[in-house]
Amino acid sequence: MRRLVLATKNKGKIVEFERLINQFAQSVKVLGLADFPDMPEVHESGKTLSENARLKAKSISIFTKLPCLADDSGLFIDALAGDPGIYSARWAGYEGVDAQERDRLNIEKVLTQLKDVPVQKRSAQFKAVVAFYKPNSDGSAIEKEELGVMSGEIVLAPMGNGGFGYDPIFKPTGFDQTLAQLPPGVKDEVSHRGIAFRAMTPFLLSNL
């Protein structure tokens, strides 16, 4: 069975990616970073989603000696000049390990920043870059990246219990529910990660 390392410890992301890849190929074993407890932390020092995704994919692939798929994603809010952007996951400065608490604090900060912004000016985009890295035996490597963008708006208060991150406050264009209220399959169809991953899949399955 072909193996692929997914560069994340985020259980929500792992579930999403497994669900997506199983639509295309049942013969791929997806491993997460929890399968490599000795893997050193990759410092996301890039200035863009692309730089961070490529950095993670390459570092983890070289360490594990397996093909790696990494993503970096962010919420870009027009009224905040594109913030929180690449800092989305750590926007509120939470340094603990409780993902739910981190998400709650991040959402709280964004809503506080937008408290005086009217509904019609709360447009935003979720963006994701998915990067693939596979080392070759001759020292070269196969690399590829794809971008996914989902447009929408920030609602006034969190709604829904599904998903993770900013899902409870992001309503995609064309929907009357937030990402946290949508069924998982619907979210996969419209999400930034889903768009990027589907664009990557043919290349991915040809190069594992």
Catalytic residues, which ones? 72
Please report the DSSP string for 35-47 in residue order.
Answer: G-TTPPPPP---S
Contact (Cβ atoms closer than 8 angstroms) between residue 41 and residue 64? no
DSSP, res 114? T
- What is the phi/psi pair of residue 65, to 5°? 60, 30
- Cβ partners under 8 Å of residue 2, min gap 6: 27, 28, 29, 208
For 59, the enclosing helix (H) or strand (E) is: helix 49-64
Maximum distance among all Cα pairs of the chain, rounded to whole angstroms: 57
* Residue that has been written with the tokens 């604090």 in this structure: 105
Query: CA dihedral defined by 14, 175, 180, 124, rounded to 10 degrees?
Result: 80
